């Protein structure tokens, strides 16, 4: 019985169902080709990487009771900066400079996060509106950087972070896994997780318990910015170009959805990193499934709606109680009273 | 009275939470025109019984009859409609609304569907006057202290035409005079035939107003008695299942230390410290090993005074030195670095973090002081937490339970534990014994005395004057948000003396 | 041995009733007043900088051009006041316009179409409210599902935009209300202002309105105080659905067409308008008047951009962001000082 | 004739053109905007530019704002075909002529606008279909086509789909086996194509509603170990520089041009309309199609 009670059971179950569908529709689910893994599953995992990264940052932000709408714009800026600099390299295939540029792009993204964090924690603006500012203006900045055009790069090392393989596994996936591990380590092996949950659970009580909520909040936005920047790099490396208009467009919605599916409440407090990752993979799998089973474009949203509705009903504690609760002896006693 | 038929009868009530049987076949009944006390230790199941009655919790077994008719109450709204009016243990009001609204919301005076604000305010003011309160009824409730909020909640409940009035620890943060007002109102209602369920951990209060009492222990019914039949000692025995002896001990210890404390070095010295609109500038020195108590009426500024010493509010006058060095307490973090700890009176909004577990709540302040990069090793956490769960008798003794599922008194203990483990130089505790049962209260008092023996300075704020007198070396008396006098707690000082000071408003 | 300073508690001398807390009754209106003043400053700077900006019709047109947003934001205000959020409004607008156009094209009498689509909007809202209340699903996820469902339905009904040739619709669309020489407005602006008025009265003077605030302040307490929490929550989402449908009708009048992509992203604009107007996203605090001001602020920013006239899309975004930033920060600083 | 708006530097006789752009949803659109801005400057026309960010309501209010600002001519690329009657009537009443660019409106009263200049999306779809039909003329084995659509519900997506489908309906061998939106985006084109490749055996032809999606799909095809342009034939629409490069490299087989450079034509029209001259109701942009060979010669001249 307890397995059904776990919040992550139903997202996981739906994910498995979708994957099984894909197993039947795809010609190669997982195989080895050219010395690395290949197939639908690998595609899904690889393509989930940006959403996982953005979702991780979003989870941390939401755990403090905030929200970050600007992640999509930060992705666009980071991609634009990176591609602009790489384009000007003499040798786009030299690893050192490309790594440096990646570093620069991430630092720029973290500065964006710092801006958000400052607005929220120092000036005290409601997070949704504070990050809306960068959401709107940020994409404009990205457009300025790329002059409204798509910047193409031909850098092998850069493309590797999205489509390369290392030890038979996609590099993008490895990056996402590494980031997840890092965040897990950071939040669960240190006291960061506890302090964040406490700030999100009750800001007043946390303040009186001596928690420096302000610094933590800023930090969380900086991390979210950095992760969004990294996601932007993978997004752009995947298509070897910086597209300031479509990069990360509307990703904030998917990221928030992933966080909520993963069992983190939007009001803040308790959060689940693994849940978010699961949510992100689920969303990506859903997108793939829609194409794989040939749902017409105009019905995509309806299909998504059905899955989301099913998911939230299954997750609902009240419904669960109604369906499964009857089986337990004590509710039987309750039934006897009402009868 | 015995001939009458009960207005409320609960039989075989059973309520199970995951892992806890909160109520195990409890019978409870009430007659019209009686005050019925519900007694039991923290976590005995009093609040749960009340909540099953008002439909907050669905019962897992048993039957409820109101006026002889079996009922199924599905929520507080239905309970109210069935004539059951309730003040819950934690003040459950909407602090964003005005005082008047909190009293009348849901039953506002209306004409043609439009709320009559003027009439509502007037009636609210009248009602509060009955409880001897003079508030700005259009101010948001959040601008008033917890005790006032408690009074507002009471005002709301007593105004409802009810057959049954339930008061779950209404007096936990009230002063003697407010308690008197409340009792007066309760007696009036009783005269008019209302059955009143009263929960309190103050035995004197129970004996003063109650006609009958029901004792619970561990979710089980121990017995129902007429108050005259049972002495206080017997009652306590029934509640805790054994005898209680620790209390006398404390007094001696406090006495013993009085001289020593006077010579000790000052931990904090406030010079003209104040905050406009909250507390007039005051001077106060607290020495090592000294317990300073604060006494005053409701809203006299005890809490405000204490908050300034922790930087919970920022002082706008005067200066403060900690261990001889001047400090500017910009925020609580600074205060904590200087070795000051503060447990707020408002445990629900300023104390516990409901979602977190007991363990996490206990280590929170210590962890915050260490910074996030230096987590307390899990083994050490468990050690500390186990120790304090035992010392403070936190029940259920499960450190991994979300603290929101604990009973009110047990939450208070968790909060105390949080600050005790930081081993501060100065411990500020505002209403630390709010809602705590007799046994645990004695335990906490003993602990405070012990800590001060060990050299810790304590600022002890409590609405219960006896407690202040028992523990303190020195007592600061407040009136109208001003510290009017500092008394050495010598033999001649007693409750009367303090009340006199307050009444005369000595300013010399 | 008492050493008590005798400085009075309040600077202006002791209050008449020393136990009465110093309380300024207008403190809760400070944010609104500040917003209004800033709005006026913004308007004046527009007048100073651009030709024809001072023309009264520019101001009057704000109401006409933002009528839909205003109506939707009014519904959203109720939802946010209870501490919820409604992401489905933009999609409900699109569904309403598509349905209206389709039905009118199919020859349904306009006076049947109107109540039908309004009722449908309310029904969608009620459904979401019920899911949120009974199954304890997060509002974000429930209304996101509503968004998918409504827009998906609209897309499956018809992907193309459908012109409305109904006489009544056209008549209302073209009807002009002359306010003064050269200053005209449209019925939709009047409807929108009426919605604001009714909402303001409802919130301030009715039991339902006060329950909304109570639930937003603390839903648990409201429940224990015996307020009809479930009913109110469902009502609030119903109202928001209704407002969205009404917005859709206004939209279809304004554009005499129906299209499934209409109102894309409007939910964010509506939320932003509420928040700019001082409504707290956590619930329990704010006024419809604030929302009105919030809508005017966004509308005014758009107008300034239009008058500026030489901004490409990148600069448009950046300037919108900058203006928003300036406004929000000033508003924040002013209200903080005043407190 | 206008001139009553009187801009500060240009004197009274400088023509003021209010232009409301759909948005900046693609590189194509940016090139379109640039062309208009540059040619306005070159033609000595004062341009009031407004970006509608893909929203009809923004566009309606922008046009109304132009009316309030008393510009001489209004031009706009409608976000959507329907629903312009009311606002166009307002412009007409204010005596301001309107030119539609790039996309049509479905007003029954054609006197509401002076002219419509732009490409015909249905025609573009047809051209793509015609090339394909010719390519497989006389062959009997079935041809599996996958389609990458533009943004669901948008006019170009609907029309390009329709024109293409109409033409290939003539040949029963040509079959669209999968059709899915790629939202006009390169990244989505890639991910959707990945799934197509996994779920659909033997794809012969890819038809993408714009170059960007096609370019994304090429990445996916290459990653799957196939040769774009050879193993899978690719047809796209737009002919932006990146697309033309791929065409010249042999990775794309055929591109239908959809030129964004209608600035000069628009300015010319605006001047004529303002002067009260009669103009043609429908002006087609000069557009063509490109094969791989043509691309090689054309590529050096591409600016966008
Ligand atoms: N929502 C809940 N979930 C799980 N356990 C609960 C919940 N509410 C109460 N309990 C448990 O039920 C038991 C009874 O709690 P209750 O609040 O009734 O005690 P009480 O007698 O009112 O104590 P106190 O004097 O401290 O207020 C406790 O062990 C408590 O931990
Ligand atoms: N009777 C009253 N009338 C009006 N305002 C009051 C009253 N009592 C308290 N207040 C307000 O409540 C606030 C809190 O007072 P404070 O908590 O400092 O007092 P306290 O002595 O700690 O009282 P309590 O016993 O209520 O905790 C003060 O700002 C005061 O303005
Ligand atoms: Mg209790
Ligand atoms: Mg107090």
For residue C19 and ligand 2, the question of a CB distance below 6 A is answered with yes
Give the minimum alpha-carbon distance from B507 to chain C in angstroms, rounded to a whole number.
8
Do the interacting molecules here have an ipTM over 0.95?
no
CB-based burial, A49-62: b 16+ in 10 Å, e otherwise: bbbbbbbbbbbbbb
| pLDDT at res. A3 | 62
CA distance A229 to chain B (A): 25
Query: Of B68, B67, B54, B69, whose CA–CA distance to B13 is shortest?
Result: B54
Backbone phi and psi for residue C232, each to the nearest 5 degrees, phi listed first: -65, -45
CA angle A242, A243, A246 (to 5 degrees): 145
Closest partner CB to A125 (pick from C155, C316, C328): C328
Q: Which two tokens stand for residue C38?
A: 């800033």
> In CATH, which superfamily holds the domain spanning B242-339+424-508?
P-loop containing nucleotide triphosphate hydrolases (3.40.50.300)
Classify domain B8-240 at the CATH class level. Answer: alpha beta
**Chains B and C lie in contact, requiring 3 or more CB pairs less than 8 Å apart:** yes
Using CA atoms, how far residue C213 sits from B20, B97, C208, D168, in Å, is 35, 8, 9, 61
Task: Nearest chain A residue to C260 by CA: give it.
Answer: A298
Residues of chain A falling short of pLDDT 50:
1, 326-339
Residues lower than pLDDT 70 in chain B: 1-3, 243-263, 505-508
**pLDDT value at residue C335:** 76
Nearest CB among A128, A305, A308 relative to C271 is that of A128
pLDDT at D303: 77
Count residue pairs from A and D with Cβ separation < 8 A: 99
- pLDDT single digits (tens) A212-270: 999 999 999 999 999 999 999 999 999 999 988 889 988 999 999 999 999 899 989 99
Number of CB pairs < 8 Å for B and C?
131
Q: How many CB pairs under 8 A join C and D?
A: 127
Long-range contacts (CB closer than 8 Å, 24 or more residues apart) made by A296-300: A296/D179, A297/D149, A297/D152, A297/D179, A297/D180, A297/D181, A298/C152, A298/C155, A298/C156, A298/C159, A298/D152, A298/D153, A299/C152, A299/C155, A299/C156, A300/C152, A300/D152, A300/D181
Looking at CA atoms only, how far is residue D303 from chain C in angstroms?
Answer: 19
CA distance linking residue B56 with residue B69, whole number of Å: 20
CA gyration radius, chain D: 21
Query: C158 by DSSP, 3-state: which?
Result: coil
Pocket test for ligand 2, best of C10, C16, C18, C21 (most atoms within 8 A of CB): C21
Place of tokens 């409608």: D78
Q: Is D282 on the interface with C (CB under 8 A)?
A: no
The minimal CB distance from B60 to the residues A195, A208, A333 is found for: A333
**B167 Cα: distance to centroid of ligand 2 (angstroms):** 22
DSSP string for C34-88? HHHHHHHHHHHHHHHHSTTTTSHHHHHHHHHHTHHHHHHHHHHHHHHHTT---TT
Query: Which tokens belong to B265?
Result: 């070095």
Tell me whether residues C7 and B508 touch, CB distance under 8 A: no
Min Cα distance B244 → chain C (Å) is 36
Q: How far, in Å, is the centroid of ligand 4 from the Cα of B294? A: 10
pLDDT in the model for residue A1: 43
Of residues C21 and B444, more confidence is placed in B444
DSSP D209: S
Contact between A251 and A50 under an 8 Å Cβ cutoff? The reply is yes
Looking at residue C13, what is its pLDDT? 36
Report whether B76 contacts C225 (CB < 8 A): yes
| CA–CA dist A285, A241 (Å, integer) | 24
- Residue B160, CB half-sphere, CA atoms under 13 Å: how many? 29
CATH 3.40.50.300 intervals, chain B = 8-240, 242-339+424-508
CA distance D53 to D74: 18
Going by C-alpha positions, the residue among D100, A299, B239, D52 that lies closest to residue C317 is: D52
Q: What pLDDT, on the 0 to 100 scale, is given for residue C12?
A: 37
Ligand 1 nearest atom to the CA of residue B395, by list position: 29
Are the beta carbons of A70 and A141 closer than 8 angstroms?
Answer: no
Q: Which ligand is nearest to the CA of B477?
A: 2
User: CA-CA-CA-CA torsion for A58, A60, A66, A70, nearest 10 degrees?
Assistant: -30
Task: Tell me the nearest-neighbour CA distance from C14 into chain A, angstroms.
Answer: 30
| Ligand that lies nearest to the alpha carbon of residue C20, given by its number in the listed order | 2
Mutation choice for D interface testing from A149, A172, A304 by most D CBs within 10 A: A149
Neighbours of ion ligand 3 (CB under 5 A): B 46-47, 89, 407-408
CA–centroid distance, residue B299 to ligand 4 (Å): 7
Flag whether residue B282 sits within 8 Å of chain C, measured between CB atoms. Answer: yes
DSSP string, D154-190: -HHHHHHHHHHHHHHTT-TTEEEEEEEE-TT-HHHHH
Model pTM?
0.91
Q: What is the dihedral of CA C113, C116, C118, C120, to 10 degrees?
A: -140
CA A97 to CA D35: how far, in whole Å?
35
Pocket of ligand 1 (CB under 6 A): B 17, 20, 22, 40, 42-48, 89, 395-396, 405-410, 435, 437
Q: Which residue of D has its CA nearest to A164?
A: D223
Whether C264 has a pLDDT exceeding 80, the answer reads yes
- Chain D contact probe: residue of A244, A297, A300 with most D CBs at under 10 A: A297
pLDDT value of position D8: 41
**Minimum CA distance residue for ligand 1 atom 29:** B43
CA distances from B364 to A192, B37, B349 (A): 11, 36, 15
DSSP B459: E
Of B92, B108, B274, the CB nearest to C225: B92
* Residue among B135, B430, B472, B433 nearest B301 (CA): B430
* pLDDT at residue A66, rounded to an integer: 94
Residue of B356, B372, B423 to mutate for A, most A C-beta atoms under 10 A: B372
Answer whether A322's CB lies under 8 Å from C180's CB: no
For a ligand 2 pocket test, name from B124, B145, B153, B502 the mutation site with the most ligand atoms within 8 angstroms of its C-beta.
B145
User: Hey, what are B62's tokens?
Assistant: 């048993």
Ligand 1, atom 18, residue with closest C-alpha: B45
- H helices present in B264-339, as ranges: 302-308, 332-337
> Which residue is it, tokens 């059955």?
B195
For the stretch B406-433, what's the b/e string if a residue is b when 16 or more beta carbons lie within 10 angstroms of its beta carbon? Answer: bbbbbbbbbbbbbbbbbebbbbbbbbbb
**Which one, of B129, B434, B13, B152, lies nearest residue C225 by Cα?**
B152
The structural domains of chain C, ordered by start, are 27-45+55-306+313-338 (1.10.3470)
B313 touches chain A (CB under 8 A): no
The predicted structure's pLDDT at residue D103 = 81
From A240's Cα to the closest Cα of chain D, the distance in A is 9
Q: Which ligand is nearest to the CA of B404?
A: 1
Q: What residues of chain A lie within 8 A of the CB of B19, using their CB?
A: none
Q: What per-residue confidence (pLDDT) applies to A329?
A: 40
**Residues B476-498 as b or e (16 or more Cβ within 10 Å = b):** bbbbbbbbbbbbebeeebeeeeb
Burial class from Cβ neighbours inside 10 Å (0-12, 13-18, 19+) for residue C320 reads: buried
Q: Residue for token digits 């779920």?
A: D199
Pick from B59, B310, B350: CB nearest A205: B350
C25 CA distance to ligand 2 middle (Å) = 19
Separation between Cα atoms, residue A44 and residue A255, nearest integer Å = 16
Q: Which residues of chain D have pLDDT under 50?
A: 1-11
Ligand 1 mutation target, pool B10, B43, B348, most atoms within 8 A of CB: B43
Give the CA count within 13 Å in the CB-facing half-sphere of A74: 37
| A59 touches A263 (CB < 8 A) | no
Hey, which residues 253-272 in chain A have their CB within 8 Å of chain B? 269-270
DSSP B255: H
Under a CB-based contact definition with an 8 Å cutoff, are residues C105 and C162 in contact?
yes
Q: Is D179 on the interface with C (CB under 8 A)?
A: no
Looking at the complex, does the CB of residue D19 fall below 8 Å from at least one CB of chain C? Answer: no
Q: Which residues of A touch C131 (CB under 8 A)?
A: 309, 312-313
């Amino acid at each position: 019985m307890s397995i059904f009670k776990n919040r992550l059971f139903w997202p996981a179950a739906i994910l498995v169902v979708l994957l099984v569908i894909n197993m039947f529709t795809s010609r190669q689910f997982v195989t080895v080709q050219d010395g690395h893994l290949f197939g639908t599953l690998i595609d899904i995992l690889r393509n989930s990487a940006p959403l996982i990264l953005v979702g991780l940052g979003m989870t941390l932000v939401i755990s403090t009771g905030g929200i970050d709408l600007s992640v999509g714009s930060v992705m666009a800026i980071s991609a634009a900066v990176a591609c602009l600099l790489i384009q000007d390299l003499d040798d786009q295939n030299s690893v050192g400079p490309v790594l440096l540029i990646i570093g620069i792009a991430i630092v720029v993204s973290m500065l964006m996060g710092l801006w958000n964090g400052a607005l929220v924690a120092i000036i005290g603006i409601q997070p949704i509106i504070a990050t809306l500012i960068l959401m709107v203006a940020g994409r404009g900045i990205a457009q300025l950087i790329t002059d409204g055009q798509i910047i193409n790069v031909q850098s092998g090392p850069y493309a590797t972070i999205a489509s390369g393989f290392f030890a038979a596994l996609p590099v993008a996936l490895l990056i996402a896994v590494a980031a997840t591990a890092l965040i897990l380590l950071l939040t669960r092996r240190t006291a960061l997780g506890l302090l964040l949950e406490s700030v999100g659970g009750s800001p007043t009580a946390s303040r009186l318990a001596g928690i420096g909520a302000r610094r933590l909040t800023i930090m969380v936005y900086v991390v979210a910015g950095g992760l969004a920047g990294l996601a932007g790099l993978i997004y752009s490396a995947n298509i070897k170009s910086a597209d300031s208009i479509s990069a990360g467009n509307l990703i904030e919605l998917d990221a928030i959805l992933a966080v909520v599916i993963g069992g983190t409440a939007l009001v803040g407090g308790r959060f689940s990193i693994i849940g978010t990752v699961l949510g992100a993979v689920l969303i990506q799998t859903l997108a793939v499934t829609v194409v794989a089973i040939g749902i017409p474009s105009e019905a995509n949203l309806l299909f998504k709606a059905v899955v989301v509705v099913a998911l939230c009903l299954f997750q609902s504690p009240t419904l669960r109680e109604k369906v499964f609760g009857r089986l337990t002896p004590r509710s039987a006693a309750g039934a006897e009273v009402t009868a | 009275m015995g001939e009458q038929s009960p207005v409320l009868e609960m039989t075989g009530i059973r309520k199970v939470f995951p892992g806890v049987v909160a109520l195990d076949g409890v019978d409870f009944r009430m007659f019209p025109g009686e005050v019925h006390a519900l007694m039991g230790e923290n976590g005995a199941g009093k609040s749960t019984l009340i909540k099953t009655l008002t439909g907050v919790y669905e019962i897992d077994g048993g039957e409820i009859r109101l006026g002889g008719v079996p009922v199924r109450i599905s929520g507080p709204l239905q309970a109210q409609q069935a004539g059951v009016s309730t003040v819950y243990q934690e003040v459950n009001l909407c602090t964003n609304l005005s005082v008047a609204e909190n009293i009348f919301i849901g039953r506002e005076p209306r004409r043609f569907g439009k709320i009559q604000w003027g009439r509502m305010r007037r009636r609210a003011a009248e009602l509060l006057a009955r409880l001897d309160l003079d508030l700005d009824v259009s101010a948001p409730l959040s601008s008033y202290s917890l005790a006032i909020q408690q009074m507002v909640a009471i005002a709301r409940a007593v105004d409802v035409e009810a057959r049954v009035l339930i008061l779950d620890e209404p007096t936990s943060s009230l002063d003697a005079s407010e308690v008197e007002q409340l009792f007066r109102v309760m007696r009036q209602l009783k005269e008019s035939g209302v059955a009143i369920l009263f929960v309190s951990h103050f035995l004197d209060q129970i004996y003063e107003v109650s006609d009958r009492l029901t004792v619970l222990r561990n979710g089980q019914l121990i017995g129902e008695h007429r108050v005259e039949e049972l002495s206080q000692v017997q009652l306590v025995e029934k509640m805790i299942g054994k005898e209680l002896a620790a209390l006398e001990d404390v007094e001696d210890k406090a006495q013993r230390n009085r001289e020593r404390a006077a010579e000790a070095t000052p931990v904090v010295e406030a010079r003209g410290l104040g905050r406009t609109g909250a507390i007039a500038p005051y001077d106060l020195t607290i020495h090592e090993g000294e317990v300073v108590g604060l006494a005053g009426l409701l809203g006299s500024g005890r809490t405000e005074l204490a908050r300034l010493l922790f930087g919970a509010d920022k002082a706008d006058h005067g200066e403060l030195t900690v261990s001889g060095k001047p400090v500017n307490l910009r925020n609580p973090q600074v205060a904590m670095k200087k070795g000051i700890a503060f447990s707020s009176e408002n445990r629900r909004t300023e104390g516990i973090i409901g979602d977190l577990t007991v363990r996490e709540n206990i280590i929170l302040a210590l962890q915050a002081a260490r910074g996030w990069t230096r987590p307390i090793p899990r083994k050490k956490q468990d050690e500390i937490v186990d120790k304090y769960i035992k010392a403070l008798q936190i029940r259920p003794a499960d450190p991994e339970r979300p603290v929101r599922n604990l009973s009110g008194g047990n939450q208070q203990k968790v909060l105390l534990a949080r600050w005790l483990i930081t081993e501060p130089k100065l411990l500020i505790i505002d209403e630390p014994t709010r809602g705590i049962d007799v046994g645990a209260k004695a335990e906490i008092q003993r602990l405070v005395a012990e800590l001060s023996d060990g050299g810790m300075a304590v600022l002890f704020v409590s609405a219960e004057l006896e407690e202040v007198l028992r523990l303190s070396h020195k007592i600061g008396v407040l009136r109208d948000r001003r510290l009017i006098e500092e008394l050495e707690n010598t033999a001649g000082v007693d409750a009367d003396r303090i009340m006199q000071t307050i009444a005369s408003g000595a300013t010399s | 041995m008492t050493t008590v300073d005798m400085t009075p508690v309040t600077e202006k001398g002791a209050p008449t009733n020393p136990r009465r807390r110093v309380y300024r009754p207008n403190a809760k209106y400070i944010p609104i007043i500040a917003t209004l003043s800033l709005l006026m400053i913004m308007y004046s700077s527009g007048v100073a900088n651009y030709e024809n900006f001072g023309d009264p019709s520019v101001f009057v047109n704000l109401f006409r051009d933002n009528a839909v947003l205003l109506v939707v934001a009014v519904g959203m205000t109720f939802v946010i006041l209870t501490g919820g959020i409604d992401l489905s409004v933009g999609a409900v607008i699109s569904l309403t316009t598509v349905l209206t156009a389709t039905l009118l094209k199919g020859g349904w009498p306009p006076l049947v179409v109107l109540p039908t689509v309004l009722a449908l909007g309310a029904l969608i809202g009620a459904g979401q409210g019920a899911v949120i209340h009974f199954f304890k699903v997060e509002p974000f996820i429930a209304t996101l599902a509503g968004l998918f469902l409504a827009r998906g339905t609209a897309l499956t009904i018809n992907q193309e935009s459908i012109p409305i040739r109904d006489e009544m619709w056209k008549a209302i669309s073209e009807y002009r209300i002359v306010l003064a020489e050269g200053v005209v407005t449209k019925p939709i602006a009047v409807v929108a202002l009426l919605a604001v008025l009714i909402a303001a009265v409802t919130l301030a003077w009715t039991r339902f309105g006060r329950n909304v605030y109570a639930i937003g302040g603390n839903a648990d307490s409201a429940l224990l105080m015996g307020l009809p929490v479930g009913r109110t929550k469902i009502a609030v989402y119903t109202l928001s659905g209704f407002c969205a449908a009404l917005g859709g009708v206004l939209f279809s009048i304004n554009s005499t067409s129906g299209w499934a992509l209409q109102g894309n992203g409007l939910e964010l604009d509506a939320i932003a308008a509420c928040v700019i107007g001082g409504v707290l996203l956590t619930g329990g605090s704010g006024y419809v008047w604030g929302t009105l001001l919030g809508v005017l602020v966004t509308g005014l920013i758009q107008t300034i951009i239009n008058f500026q006239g030489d901004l490409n899309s990148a600069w448009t975004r950046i300037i919108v962001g900058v203006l928003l930033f300036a406004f929000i920060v000033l508003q924040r600083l002013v209200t903080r000082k005043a407190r | 004739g206008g001139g009553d708006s009187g801009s500060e530097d240009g004197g009274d006789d400088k023509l003021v053109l209010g232009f409301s752009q759909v948005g900046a949803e693609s590189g194509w659109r940016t090139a379109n905007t640039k062309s208009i801005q540059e040619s306005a400057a070159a033609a000595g026309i004062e341009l009031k530019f407004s970006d509608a960010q893909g929203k009809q309501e923004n566009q309606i209010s922008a046009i109304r704002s132009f009316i309030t600002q008393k510009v001489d001519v209004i031009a706009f690329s409608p976000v959507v075909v329907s629903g312009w009657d009311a606002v166009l009537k307002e412009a007409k009443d204010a005596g301001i002529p309107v030119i539609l660019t790039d996309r049509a409106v479905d007003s029954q009263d054609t006197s509401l606008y002076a002219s419509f200049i732009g490409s015909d999306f249905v025609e573009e779809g047809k051209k793509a279909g015609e090339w394909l039909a010719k390519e497989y003329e006389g062959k009997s084995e079935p041809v599996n086509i996958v389609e990458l659509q533009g943004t669901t519900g948008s006019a170009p997506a609907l029309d390009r789909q329709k024109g293409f489908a109409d033409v290939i309906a003539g040949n029963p061998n040509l079959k669209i086996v999968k059709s899915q939106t790629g939202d006009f985006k390169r990244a989505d084109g890639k991910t959707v194509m990945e799934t197509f490749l996994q779920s659909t055996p033997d794809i012969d032809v890819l038809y993408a509603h714009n170059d960007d999606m096609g370019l994304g799909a090429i990445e996916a095809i290459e990653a799957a170990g196939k040769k774009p342009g050879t193993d899978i034939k690719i047809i796209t629409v737009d002919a932006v520089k990146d697309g033309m490069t791929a065409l010249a490299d042999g990775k794309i087989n055929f591109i239908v041009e959809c030129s964004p450079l209608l600035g000069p034509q628009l300015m010319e029209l605006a001047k004529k309309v303002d002067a009260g001259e009669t103009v043609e109701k429908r002006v087609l942009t000069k557009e063509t199609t490109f094969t791989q060979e043509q691309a090689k010669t054309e590529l050096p001249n591409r600016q966008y």
